Amino acid sequence: MKTLQDFLEDLGSRESSGNYKAVNKYGYIGKYQMGEMALIDCGYYKKTKNYNNDWSGEFLGKDGIYSVQDFLNTPIAQENAIRIFMKRLWKYLKAFGAHKYLGQIINGYKITASGLLAGAHLKGTGSVISYLSSNGKCISKDGFGTSIESYIKKFANYDVTEIIN
Protein backbone atom coordinates (compact mmCIF):
# COMPACT_ATOMS: atom_id res chain seq x y z
CA MET A 1 0.00 0.00 0.00
CA LYS A 2 1.18 3.50 -0.72
CA THR A 3 2.26 5.61 2.27
CA LEU A 4 1.12 8.96 3.61
CA GLN A 5 4.24 10.50 2.07
CA ASP A 6 3.24 9.00 -1.30
CA PHE A 7 -0.25 10.47 -0.84
CA LEU A 8 1.12 13.94 -0.16
CA GLU A 9 3.61 13.76 -3.03
CA ASP A 10 0.90 12.61 -5.44
CA LEU A 11 -1.53 15.25 -4.20
CA GLY A 12 1.10 17.99 -4.57
CA SER A 13 1.94 16.71 -8.02
CA ARG A 14 -1.73 16.79 -9.06
CA GLU A 15 -2.38 20.20 -7.52
CA SER A 16 0.68 22.11 -8.74
CA SER A 17 3.11 19.71 -10.41
CA GLY A 18 4.92 19.80 -7.05
CA ASN A 19 5.65 23.54 -7.35
CA TYR A 20 5.91 25.20 -3.94
CA LYS A 21 5.72 28.65 -5.58
CA ALA A 22 2.53 27.98 -7.59
CA VAL A 23 -0.35 30.47 -7.48
CA ASN A 24 -3.45 29.73 -9.54
CA LYS A 25 -5.99 32.13 -11.03
CA TYR A 26 -8.32 31.59 -8.06
CA GLY A 27 -5.68 32.66 -5.52
CA TYR A 28 -4.81 29.20 -4.20
CA ILE A 29 -1.14 29.00 -3.26
CA GLY A 30 1.76 26.61 -2.94
CA LYS A 31 2.39 22.98 -3.74
CA TYR A 32 -1.00 21.93 -2.35
CA GLN A 33 -2.95 24.94 -3.65
CA MET A 34 -4.24 26.02 -0.26
CA GLY A 35 -6.67 28.87 0.21
CA GLU A 36 -7.40 31.32 2.98
CA MET A 37 -9.86 29.01 4.76
CA ALA A 38 -7.37 26.14 4.78
CA LEU A 39 -4.61 28.31 6.23
CA ILE A 40 -7.03 29.69 8.83
CA ASP A 41 -7.83 26.10 9.84
CA CYS A 42 -4.10 25.40 10.08
CA GLY A 43 -3.36 28.42 12.29
CA TYR A 44 -1.25 30.32 9.74
CA TYR A 45 -3.70 33.05 8.79
CA LYS A 46 -6.47 35.24 10.16
CA LYS A 47 -9.31 36.96 8.34
CA THR A 48 -12.76 37.84 9.58
CA LYS A 49 -14.87 37.93 6.39
CA ASN A 50 -14.89 37.56 2.61
CA TYR A 51 -12.88 34.38 2.28
CA ASN A 52 -12.02 34.86 -1.39
CA ASN A 53 -8.27 34.18 -1.49
CA ASP A 54 -7.33 37.81 -1.99
CA TRP A 55 -4.99 37.41 1.01
CA SER A 56 -6.02 40.73 2.57
CA GLY A 57 -5.98 39.19 6.06
CA GLU A 58 -3.03 38.66 8.36
CA PHE A 59 -0.46 35.89 8.53
CA LEU A 60 0.22 34.96 12.15
CA GLY A 61 3.92 34.08 12.06
CA LYS A 62 3.51 30.31 12.46
CA ASP A 63 6.64 28.62 11.05
CA GLY A 64 7.96 32.14 10.35
CA ILE A 65 5.22 32.86 7.80
CA TYR A 66 4.14 36.52 7.65
CA SER A 67 3.08 36.79 3.99
CA VAL A 68 2.02 34.85 0.91
CA GLN A 69 5.60 35.20 -0.33
CA ASP A 70 6.95 33.69 2.89
CA PHE A 71 4.58 30.76 2.48
CA LEU A 72 5.56 30.23 -1.17
CA ASN A 73 9.25 30.36 -0.25
CA THR A 74 9.03 27.94 2.71
CA PRO A 75 8.46 24.32 1.68
CA ILE A 76 8.59 23.03 5.26
CA ALA A 77 5.71 25.34 6.25
CA GLN A 78 3.67 24.02 3.33
CA GLU A 79 4.41 20.43 4.34
CA ASN A 80 3.47 21.20 7.94
CA ALA A 81 0.30 23.00 6.84
CA ILE A 82 -0.97 20.17 4.64
CA ARG A 83 -0.55 17.62 7.43
CA ILE A 84 -2.40 19.86 9.88
CA PHE A 85 -5.09 20.53 7.27
CA MET A 86 -5.59 16.83 6.50
CA LYS A 87 -6.08 16.09 10.19
CA ARG A 88 -8.63 18.91 10.38
CA LEU A 89 -10.43 17.65 7.26
CA TRP A 90 -10.67 14.17 8.77
CA LYS A 91 -12.24 15.61 11.93
CA TYR A 92 -14.84 17.41 9.80
CA LEU A 93 -15.50 14.34 7.66
CA LYS A 94 -15.87 12.13 10.72
CA ALA A 95 -18.17 14.64 12.43
CA PHE A 96 -20.53 14.35 9.45
CA GLY A 97 -20.35 10.55 9.37
CA ALA A 98 -18.19 10.09 6.27
CA HIS A 99 -16.23 7.33 7.98
CA LYS A 100 -19.39 5.17 7.93
CA TYR A 101 -19.01 4.90 4.14
CA LEU A 102 -15.48 3.43 4.26
CA GLY A 103 -15.31 0.23 2.24
CA GLN A 104 -18.56 0.88 0.39
CA ILE A 105 -18.63 0.97 -3.41
CA ILE A 106 -20.15 4.07 -5.03
CA ASN A 107 -20.28 4.36 -8.82
CA GLY A 108 -17.84 1.46 -8.99
CA TYR A 109 -15.25 3.08 -6.69
CA LYS A 110 -14.29 1.86 -3.23
CA ILE A 111 -14.56 4.56 -0.59
CA THR A 112 -11.30 4.92 1.34
CA ALA A 113 -10.07 7.42 3.91
CA SER A 114 -7.39 8.76 1.55
CA GLY A 115 -9.93 9.20 -1.23
CA LEU A 116 -12.26 11.11 1.10
CA LEU A 117 -9.41 13.35 2.28
CA ALA A 118 -8.42 14.14 -1.30
CA GLY A 119 -12.03 14.86 -2.25
CA ALA A 120 -12.40 17.18 0.74
CA HIS A 121 -9.15 18.92 -0.19
CA LEU A 122 -10.51 19.52 -3.69
CA LYS A 123 -14.06 20.66 -2.89
CA GLY A 124 -14.58 20.70 0.86
CA THR A 125 -16.23 18.45 3.40
CA GLY A 126 -19.75 19.43 2.38
CA SER A 127 -19.21 18.29 -1.20
CA VAL A 128 -17.85 14.94 0.00
CA ILE A 129 -20.87 14.45 2.26
CA SER A 130 -23.21 15.36 -0.62
CA TYR A 131 -21.46 12.84 -2.85
CA LEU A 132 -21.67 10.09 -0.24
CA SER A 133 -25.23 10.75 0.92
CA SER A 134 -26.51 10.94 -2.67
CA ASN A 135 -24.84 7.59 -3.44
CA GLY A 136 -22.65 9.30 -6.02
CA LYS A 137 -25.37 11.26 -7.79
CA CYS A 138 -24.13 14.66 -6.57
CA ILE A 139 -20.69 15.07 -8.14
CA SER A 140 -19.34 18.59 -7.70
CA LYS A 141 -16.42 20.01 -9.67
CA ASP A 142 -13.82 22.66 -8.96
CA GLY A 143 -13.27 25.77 -11.08
CA PHE A 144 -11.12 23.81 -13.52
CA GLY A 145 -13.75 21.10 -14.02
CA THR A 146 -12.08 18.44 -11.86
CA SER A 147 -14.72 16.25 -10.21
CA ILE A 148 -14.73 15.23 -6.60
CA GLU A 149 -15.30 11.66 -7.76
CA SER A 150 -12.08 11.71 -9.77
CA TYR A 151 -10.14 12.59 -6.60
CA ILE A 152 -11.95 9.97 -4.53
CA LYS A 153 -10.95 7.40 -7.18
CA LYS A 154 -7.40 8.64 -7.93
CA PHE A 155 -6.37 8.95 -4.28
CA ALA A 156 -7.92 5.73 -2.96
CA ASN A 157 -5.91 3.15 -1.03
CA TYR A 158 -3.11 5.16 0.54
CA ASP A 159 -2.22 4.43 4.15
CA VAL A 160 -3.25 7.63 5.95
CA THR A 161 -3.43 6.06 9.40
CA GLU A 162 -1.24 8.83 10.80
CA ILE A 163 -3.89 11.38 9.75
CA ILE A 164 -7.07 9.54 10.75
CA ASN A 165 -5.95 8.23 14.16
Instruction: Collapse the DSSP code of 151 into the 3-class scheme (helix H, G, I; strand E, B; otherwise coil) and give the result.
Output: helix
Segment 69-128, tens digit of pLDDT: 999 999 999 999 999 999 999 999 999 999 999 999 999 999 999 999 999 999 999 999
Q: Rounded CA gap, 89 and 33, in Å?
A: 15
From CA 130, how far away is CA 137, in angstroms rounded? 9
pTM, entire model: 0.97
